[in-house]
Structure 1
Amino acid sequence: MSADLAEKTDRYERLLAEALDAAEPVAPADTPLDAAAAEFEEMAHSYLEDGRHFREEEDLVNALAAFSYGHAWLDAGARIGLFDVPDEGHLFTV
């Protein structure tokens, strides 16, 4: 196992977990946008859980991919206005 892969996997897991904590849904309640925000957040949580499962199985390639996909869901949701996220820092590209 490559030390670089292990470090990157750790970093992306932390990034996704921190991003999930920081993202606040802002869509009006009981609207299609609210439902979309919930779906985006659920996908991010699911990919975090999947990544942790892959890590336990020592499958770092799939763990890293899962963490990356999960973060992509949150970042996309932030870019289209489903989440309020920090303007500064490393968590989001908005």
Structure 2
Amino acid sequence: MAADLAEKTDRYERLLSEALAAASVAPPAGTPLAAAAAEFEEMASSYLDDGRHFREQDDLVNALAAFSYGHAWLDAGARLGVFAVPEEGHLFTV
């Protein structure tokens, strides 16, 4: 079971990291939606950092939760249209 948790944590960390790199702010700069996208991106990035911190502490449960929450922020932003994201592949559910 610990091996499954470690594998899943690794997978979700990669997913969040790749999704952060692939997402770009869609609305024009200076608009409220661009500000919202920046906040969503900041939350996702913060959860990536938090997850990595938890991993360093050997707390895989909280690391996995943080990576999952971070990806949820990006995926929600993609569904709202505040991020331009790849439509093909495994990074987003749009």
**TM-score normalised to the size of structure 1?**
0.98
Partner of 1:79: 79
How far the C-alpha of 1:28 sits from its partner, in A, is 1.3
Matches within 5 A, 1:1-94: 2-94=2-94
Q: Secondary structure at the match of 2:21?
A: helix
The residue identity in structure 1 corresponding to 2:64 is L
Q: Distance in 1 between matches of 2:83 and 2:32?
A: 14
The residue identity in structure 2 corresponding to 1:90 is H
Q: Distance in 1 between matches of 2:22 and 2:74?
A: 10
Q: Distance in 1 between matches of 2:39 and 2:27?
A: 12
Q: Distance in 2 between matches of 1:87 and 1:31?
A: 24
Query: Which runs of 4 or more aligned residues in structure 1 lie more than 3 Å from their structure 2 counterparts after TM superposition?
Result: none
What per-residue deviation string (whole Å, max 9, x for no partner) do you get for residues 28-84 of structure 1?
111110100000000000000000000000000000000000000000000000001
Q: Secondary structure at the match of 1:47?
A: helix
The residue identity in structure 1 corresponding to 2:78 is A
Q: Secondary structure at the match of 2:27?
A: coil
Gaps of 5+ in 1: none
